[in-house]
Structure formats: C-alpha cells, structure tokens
Amino acid sequence: MTTGMAVRQEISLHKRIPRRHFRQLQGPDARALFYRQPEPFDDLADREILAMALGATLYVPATRADLTATILRRADRGVCSMVIDLEDAVADHEVEFAKLQTVRTLDELAARPDPSPMLFVRVRDADTVPELLDRLSAGAQVLTGFVFPKFDSASAPKYLAALDAAGARTGRPLYGMPVLESAALVHRQTRDSELTQIAACLAEYRERILAVRIGATDMCATFGIRRDRDLTIYDVRVIADVIADIVNYFGRADDTGFVITGPVWEYFADHERMFRPLLRTAPFEESDAVPFRSYLVSRDLDGLLREITLDRANGIQGKTVIHPSHVAAVHALSVVTHEEYSDALDILQVEVGGVAASGYRNKMNEMRPHRSWARTTLTRARVFGVAKKGVSFVDLLSALVTV
C-alpha cells in the first residue's frame, strides 16, 4: 500500500460514523419498542457480528443514474447492507459504464461522513475484482467486499484468490459472499460432489467469507420455474431440497458453518389473489392495527413475512431484497423477542446439561441442545436489539413503515 493510500484510509476510517440498525427510530419511539437497543458496528467489527448485521441486503443496479444519492437515502431509511450489481441487473453493452459508475460512487461516498451501508460489488467474474481496485482511490475504504455470482467448484479458486489478493492490497478486511445458484449444485446427481468441493474451498478462506447467499431465482430457472407470489420458496419442493442441503453443508453449529442468507422475494405490488392471505388477523387486532394488515396483504408482504419466518426456522439469517419496502419486514422479524432473550440468557447461564422450565412458563429449555441457538440469538440481539415485553413484530413493523 502506498503512503498516500494509507493516509486516505486513516482519514476515511476516522471520520465515518458507525452503522446501527433502527437508527431511524429515535427518542420515545425507540424507548417504547426496545428492551435492549441495537449496538453500533463498523467494518472492523467481528465477522460474526457483520454477518448477522447484513439483515436485508438491498441490491441496486450499478447503472442507476443517482447511485450515490440512492445509497445515502436508503441508509437514512434503515438499510445497513447494499450490493452494487454489475451482473444480472446490467445489460452487456452497459458493463463499462456500470464499472465507471461504481468507482465514482464509492469514491464519492468515501468523501462523506454519513454512515453508509456495508457496500458490496457483485462482479461478473474474478478479473473484475483487481480491475475495480485499480480504478478506486479512497473509495476502496468504504467497500466491505464482493458478491460472487454463480459460485461453483470451477470458479471458486479464482474468485477466492482474487478476494485474498484484494484484502492484502487494501490492508483492511474485505469479505466475499458467494452465491450458490449453479445448475451443478441444483441437479441431484452432482449436488453432493459440488457442495463437498465448495465447502473445501470456503474452509480454506474461512475468515474472508462473510456469508453464503442462496440464489433461488437462478435455481428455479434450471427447471423453467417462476414461483407465484402466493407461495414461499419452501413450497417449490425441488428448490427447498437444494436449500436443505446447502444448510446441511454450510449451516452447521460446530464452528465449520457460515451465516446463510435467504433468497430474494420478487414481488412488491398488489394483485388479484388466488389463495387466502398468509397473515392471521389476531396479532393485528391485539395491536389495533387491522388496517395495517390490509396494507401488508395488498403489497404482497404477507408472503414475504411468511418466507422470512420459514428462513429462520431453517437456519437462515438475513435476506436478499430488491425493493426498499421489503427491508422493514426483514428487520422487524430480526429483532429478538423478550421471550427469546430471556430463554437464551437462562440457557447460557448454566454450564452443565439438564432441563428447566422457561421463565415464561410455556416451554422447556434443554441446556445442551439449545446452547448453539442461544448463542446465535444473543448475537442477533446485539445487532437488532431486544423488543420490550409485549412488543410484537406488528408494533415494530408498523413503526418502521410509518416513521
């Protein structure tokens, strides 16, 4: 690293304001909702904190004319991770313009003190990584890492070598997020071999991998499928089977796993419904928010909320999003409930095994089997906070939508 670049790095890191989830909720609003406030974090935080903090990762085309302003606006509205997309969102004839725009935007953001999201660039190939660094000046210091699309056993070595070289070149942590979506991984005959080889590659670069992302849209394309907005990805069985195997290989709680993020939800406008909405009325009646439920259903957000819940049940944290309206839903359901927090503390306070009734007196906590869950829950509590007793996701979501 040159002396000039080192000086720019020191200045850039010194003046940047740490990020924090729910920064848009201030004063009495935040105090009424949170038992424990979300903690601030920056790019130098532990990898497990950054991975959990991804939350709703919003993709934006690199060709967008107002890219810098868009990123700052989204950050002000609560987005804490964004991907500048040079791949599927960019037509072939616009790739060079997209690269120039990406470099200009990162350099512009580096000159501002505003808290920007964690920023990643989704490259088309491994060669784009050093190419962008050649063009960047101070902008390299606001770059959190790269997203590697169509990541498979053939492309993995070159992608990961480029990532390693980029981190050494900038002198700061740069992370990779491989997207698992290739046909070799989807096809049943080749899946186990492909996952085994990918797992071996990622293990070698473990400290540089922030999260493993699932690309369900490309997976569906393998079978000529496009899922309907009335269904979750878990209703598409051939894709649900792939997701289960990805979690089996990469989501283990034995220090070999990674944070796995959920696939994108594609819909954001109302339509004529074939099936009943996926949201029960009762939670909204309890919060005097029945009209708000109607709004969520009209925007197809009931399906998104259902899918986020199923993501979490299947060991997946965070989600790829393509529309700003999806961010609040992901983040509201990422807040740790008071009951979860109470259970996690009880479990981790006991060093030996055994079983005890939950402090809420509605379940049994098994101290050894639930320990990994408890650790993950407390990490999520640091990043997204803990809701006050009696505060539900309806309260959190309605506050985020109306703020």
Placement of tokens 């809701």 in the chain: 387
Amino acid at 356: A
Q: What's the pLDDT tens digit per position in 354-399? A: 898 888 888 989 999 999 999 999 999 999 999 999 998 888 988 8
pLDDT above 90: percentage of residues in the chain: 73
Q: What's the pLDDT tens digit per position in 128-178? A: 999 999 999 999 999 999 999 999 999 999 999 999 999 999 998 999 999
**CATH 3.40.50.720, applies to 40-334:** no
3-state secondary structure of 178: strand
pLDDT at residue 62 greater than cutoff 90: yes
Q: Is 176 exposed, middle or buried (0-12, 13-18, 19+ CB in 10 A)?
A: buried
318: region left, alpha or beta (phi > 0 left; psi from -120 to 50 alpha): left
In SS3 terms, 325-387 reads as HHHHHHHHCCCECHHHHHHHHHHHCCCCCCEEECCCCCCEEECCCCHHHHHHHHHHHHHHCEE
**Measured between alpha carbons, how far is 383 from 379 in angstroms, rounded to an integer?**
7
Give the residue among 23, 11, 20 at the shortest CA–CA distance from 42.
Answer: 20
Angle between helices 128-135 and 95-110 (to 10 degrees): 50
Q: What's the pLDDT tens digit per position in 238-255? A: 999 999 999 999 999 998
State mean pLDDT over 302-328. Answer: 93
**Quick check: 107 and 140 in contact, CB under 8 A?**
no
Domain ranges (residues) in the chain: 19-37+336-403, 40-334
Placement of tokens 């030996």 in the chain: 352
pLDDT at 309: 93
3-state secondary structure of 212: strand
State mean pLDDT over 45-60. Answer: 97
pTM above 0.85, yes or no: yes
Kindly indicate the confidence band of residue 298, based on its pLDDT and cuts at 50, 70 and 90: low
Residues contacting residue 30 through CB under 8 Å, at least 6 positions apart: 22, 37
Alpha-carbon torsion angle 381, 382, 388, 393, nearest 10: -50
